[in-house]
Amino acid sequence: MKRDDEESLQRGAKLLLEGATLGMEHCPQCKMPIYILRDKTLYCATCDVKLVKEEDLKKKDNDEKVRADNKKPTKRKTASPIQAKIDQLAKQLEEETDPEKMVELAETIKKLENIRDS
Ligand SMILES: [Zn+2]
């Protein structure tokens, strides 16, 4: 066995101990099985090089898809500050005895309702 082979085997054995696995693919240069490191990097122990793989590109595509899905339009809040004000004024109107102020309150409520519904 050549010394180079021995070194690459030792590198490979060390990788496996560190949690790497042997991949299904083979190195385009030396045709030896490629190791998959724990961070999903493809690595050829024989050539001692890391390889760029297609899955990285696919993963990026998926990330962008997820981001696109998050762009859903936000629902209109039902409990708006305007609605809270309308409720408050409605209560005031119930207790109001001054006709002028009653009209004033009623008009304000109507205006607020128009804003709320617009
Ligand atoms: Zn190789």
pLDDT in tens, 22-70: 988 899 899 989 999 998 899 999 999 998 755 555 555 666 665 665 5
Say whether pLDDT at 72 is over 80: no
| Cα 98 to ligand 1 centre (Å) | 92
| Cα 9 to ligand 1 centre (Å) | 12
Q: Are 3 and 46 in contact (CB under 8 A)?
A: no
Domain ranges of the chain: 3-54, 81-113
Give, as residue ranges, everything with CB less than 5 Å from ion ligand 1: 27, 29-30, 44, 46-47
Say how far apart CA 7 and CA 23 lie, in whole Å: 19
The residue with tokens 């490191």 is 37
- Under the banding of pLDDT at 50, 70 and 90, the label for residue 95 is very high
Say whether pLDDT at 88 is over 70: yes
Length of the chain: 118
| Cα 49 to ligand 1 centre (Å) | 7
| Cα 47 to ligand 1 centre (Å) | 4
pLDDT of residue 51: 85
Q: Which residues, 6 or more positions from 19, have their beta carbon under 8 angstroms from its beta carbon? A: 37, 38
- Under the banding of pLDDT at 50, 70 and 90, the label for residue 8 is confident
